[in-house]
A and B are shown apart, each in its own frame.
Chain A
Amino acid sequence: MLLAGGQGSRLGVLTSKVAKPAVSFGGKYRIIDFVLSNCANSGISTVGVLTQYRPYLLHEYLGTGEAWNLDERGGGVAILPPFATQTGASWYAGTADAITQNLGYLEGQDPEYVLILSGDQLYRMDYEDMLATHKANNADLTVAVMPVPWEDAPRFGIMNTREDGSIEEFVEKPAEPKSNLASMGIYIFNADVLIKTLKEDAEKEDSSHDFGGDIIPTLLAEGKRLYTYQFKAYWRDVGTVASFHEANMELLGEEPAFDLFAQDAPIMSNSSTRPPAFVGPKGSVDDSLIDNGCTILGSVEHSVISSDVFVGKGAIVKDSILFPGARVEENAVVINAIMAERATVKAGATFGSADEETVTLGDDAVVEKEA
């Protein structure tokens, strides 16, 4: 069950028209590609995707799930937006509530285990390995955790564990953390435990219907077997403009923090069939990712460029991220900026600077040259 309904409000104009999981990333992907590819690469063939905020692009992009080999009979991708019943209709009020409202789907699939995922994180994980740990511990719930720097621990949901990896206590954003193991918001439940707990939680008036805040404490209080699964590889929750920018830049360089070219677990995407990128006679590209369909007549340095981007003659693009269809016209300068889909910086105009925070330009927005 993949939670993909979030707005990602801290990404500002980047999510003004699309849900966060559908935001362009890494030159040809959308954020949700990473989790869907993990599912496909881990042999999971049934994925319910819970959507809510601005779902058009996300729904269109998911399609039948075929891009991730998830178009299977009797399984595959199911898109699960909020819906009405005889007793009325309501929005998803929390992570747990979103699953509760779709217990019908879940019970219809009749699984033994349920993996709960977020559609807005960047990482490569073999969920089969996590499930093996879950089974070996004979656990009711396994929470994926990763060690974070101690000074950052107060920003996360922290798991205090015993030596065998079992969970003693869960503390949301502790002022004085006793552990540095942060919850990644990735859970494996025994299906019967999940369904029973969600049904009971739904009846509680004082619950905020959240996995971290309500479900985990309830299970701990009931004395259920809760274990952690330690993950130590690359993982990013690109919540802010700064972290989104940084995560893109981490794809660059000769030894990138996250290697898109790793062969063992390819990141799949619903890609277009555009011609190869054209770098013009006077164009130059250095330390960048550039997708098909681009025309680069100017200079691109240390940037991530999605499909069908145009960079005009004499233009300079540096330390920036350009989404599909963005245009940087002749002699324009774009530095330390994120341009969303089809955004334009007009000829001779300047957008962003190296000395200030990363600036963002929304879908279809235009920056004119100052008079």
Chain B
Amino acid sequence: MPKAIGLVTCNYTTASKDDVFLDRPVASMPYLGRYRLVDFALSNMVDAGIRTVGMIMPNNYRSLVDHVGSGKDWDLDRKNGGLFIMPGTAFGTSRTGARFLIRDLVQNRAFFTKNNEKYVVLSTANFICSVDINALIAKHEETGANITVLTKKASCDGNVDVVTFDVENGRVKSMHQGVKFGEAAFLDYAVIERTLLLELLDSFAAVDHLDLFEALNSEYSRFRVMACEFDGYMKPIFDKASYFTANMDLLDTDVLAELTNARPIKTKAHDNPPAKYEPGCKVSNSLVASGDRIYGTVQGSILGRNVIVEPGASVRNSVIMQGVIVKSGAKIENAIIDKANVVPAGTELRGTDGDILYLKKN
């Protein structure tokens, strides 16, 4: 078990104007039929043996608290330690770039003083990846760094929300917002010594509107911040397009296995019956969650829990979130249908490959 506590920040929005993220914190976005994005950060930490995890909440925290509850489903309902739900500052939600907002950390300083483990593992909620945090801590100790950040060389130009480090011989020289091909994208996982974090919070008190790594920009010569290269599947989710691909990527069984087998993704347990495939249905190349009832056709799609696809209805190349009912004869293609929508009989909802149609939650 690592000498570490975890911190998952959830008090931020994305630069994207897509309404996918308008009604909810990024952290509680449903993903892959049955998860929420925050499950990955929590599961990675818990899998490494961390049993003290703080979550900094956005102001619209209802769905997030509903999801994590007492932390029981992640074994975080401990007598000592466990899950700490902490307030974020109201300022954070209007600030897109700052995911490790210093003001949020300062406001919850007690979390870092009361738990006396050696390290703090930092994370946000919207990177889909399965991370061995103990390996990250081992790398941190091996290089004798002050801070170790998890990075991955970008395979294409990426989102403006992703933070990028300029790295020389493994050492971070500076950071900037947005990522281009070949640059070291920050996966928002970092290890820092707890006492150093407390020192930094004190010394950055005057610039608490900044992101921690942004504030460090003038200090990267003073502190040894080392980059640790991640070699697995990774997907940042910051807009509609990346959300859609991050779902569809999982139709590749190798990616699905990497993300869910080696390190189980824990999530809130639900009592759904198994999915029921009715006589005459057609299902192929799809992920189908429990509680679904399929009478019609489903191809190349992700179906959340308790979805009903009625006779004669078809769902193609789409992400259908929990509780959606696709009435008979309705046709859905290239779309994201958010929670609890009823798609009326005979309607057609079609997006294109380049512009996925989004139906907001009911």
> Are A275 and B33 neighbours in the complex by a CB distance under 8 Å?
yes
A27 CB–B CB distance under 8 Å: yes
Measured in the bound complex, the distance between the Cα atoms of B284 and A109 in whole Å is 53
A291 in contact with B282 given A28-B290, A275-B33 (CB within 8 Å) = no
Measured in the bound complex, the distance between the Cα atoms of B35 and A284 in whole Å is 25
Q: Which of B260, B277, B286 contacts A274 (CB 8 A)?
A: B260
Task: Note all chain B residues with C-beta closer than 8 A to A253.
Answer: 278-279
Interface size on A, residues (CB 8 A): 38
> Are A290 and B287 neighbours in the complex by a CB distance under 8 Å?
no
> Are A290 and B260 neighbours in the complex by a CB distance under 8 Å?
no
Task: Note all chain B residues with C-beta closer than 8 A to A55.
Answer: none
Residues in B230-255 with C-beta less than 8 Å from chain A: 250-251, 253
Measured in the bound complex, the distance between the Cα atoms of B274 and A274 in whole Å is 12
A365 CB–B CB distance under 8 Å: no
Residues in B148-181 with C-beta less than 8 Å from chain A: none
> Are B278 and A254 neighbours in the complex by a CB distance under 8 Å?
yes
Task: Note all chain A residues with C-beta closer than 8 A to B295.
Answer: 254
> Are B289 and A292 neighbours in the complex by a CB distance under 8 Å?
yes
A105 CB–B CB distance under 8 Å: no
| Stretch of A140-148, A259-267, A331-339 on the interface side | A259-267
Task: Note all chain A residues with C-beta closer than 8 A to B291.
Answer: 261
A289 in contact with B275 given A275-B287, A279-B288, A281-B285 (CB within 8 Å) = yes
The chain A residue with its CB closest to the CB of B74 is: A273
> Are B264 and A276 neighbours in the complex by a CB distance under 8 Å?
no
| Stretch of B58-66, B265-273, B337-345 on the interface side | B265-273
A267 in contact with B271 given A261-B276, A275-B265 (CB within 8 Å) = yes
Please, what's the 1-or-0 string for A278-301, where 1 marks a CB less than 8 Å from any CB in chain B?
111111111111111001000010
B293 CB–A CB distance under 8 Å: yes
Task: Note all chain B residues with C-beta closer than 8 A to A304.
Answer: 274
The chain B residue with its CB closest to the CB of A278 is: B287
Measured in the bound complex, the distance between the Cα atoms of B276 and A300 in whole Å is 12
> Are B269 and A271 neighbours in the complex by a CB distance under 8 Å?
yes
A215 CB–B CB distance under 8 Å: no
B32 CB–A CB distance under 8 Å: yes
A257–chain B nearest beta-carbon distance, Å: 14
Task: Note all chain B residues with C-beta closer than 8 A to A277.
Answer: 275, 287-289
The chain A residue with its CB closest to the CB of B264 is: A273
B264–chain A nearest beta-carbon distance, Å: 7
> Are B290 and A279 neighbours in the complex by a CB distance under 8 Å?
no
A215–chain B nearest beta-carbon distance, Å: 36
Measured in the bound complex, the distance between the Cα atoms of B279 and A284 in whole Å is 12
B115–chain A nearest beta-carbon distance, Å: 27
Task: Note all chain A residues with C-beta closer than 8 A to B275.
Answer: 276-277, 289-291
B283 CB–A CB distance under 8 Å: yes
Task: Note all chain B residues with C-beta closer than 8 A to A278.
Answer: 251, 253, 256, 286-288
> Are B274 and A305 neighbours in the complex by a CB distance under 8 Å?
yes
Residues in A30-59 with C-beta less than 8 Å from chain B: none
Task: Note all chain A residues with C-beta closer than 8 A to B256.
Answer: 275, 278
Measured in the bound complex, the distance between the Cα atoms of B271 and A67 in whole Å is 9
Measured in the bound complex, the distance between the Cα atoms of B299 and A244 in whole Å is 33
Measured in the bound complex, the distance between the Cα atoms of B302 and A269 in whole Å is 24
A18 CB–B CB distance under 8 Å: no
The chain A residue with its CB closest to the CB of B271 is: A268
Measured in the bound complex, the distance between the Cα atoms of B267 and A271 in whole Å is 11
Task: Note all chain A residues with C-beta closer than 8 A to B348.
Answer: none
Q: Which of A27, A260, A286, A295 contacts B280 (CB 8 A)?
A: A286
Measured in the bound complex, the distance between the Cα atoms of B282 and A306 in whole Å is 20
A65 CB–B CB distance under 8 Å: no
Given contacts A273-B266, A274-B260, A278-B287, 10 further A-B contacts (CB under 8 A): A260-B276, A261-B273, A261-B291, A273-B73, A275-B287, A276-B289, A278-B251, A285-B283, A286-B277, A287-B278
Please name 28 pairs of A and B residues whose Cβ atoms are closer than 8 Å in the assembled complex, sorted by A.
A27-B274, A67-B269, A254-B295, A260-B274, A260-B276, A269-B271, A273-B266, A274-B264, A275-B32, A275-B259, A276-B32, A277-B288, A279-B285, A281-B284, A282-B284, A283-B283, A283-B284, A284-B283, A284-B284, A285-B281, A288-B276, A289-B274, A290-B274, A291-B275, A292-B274, A292-B289, A295-B253, A305-B274
Closest 4 CB pairs of A and B: A27-B274, A260-B273, A291-B274, A276-B289
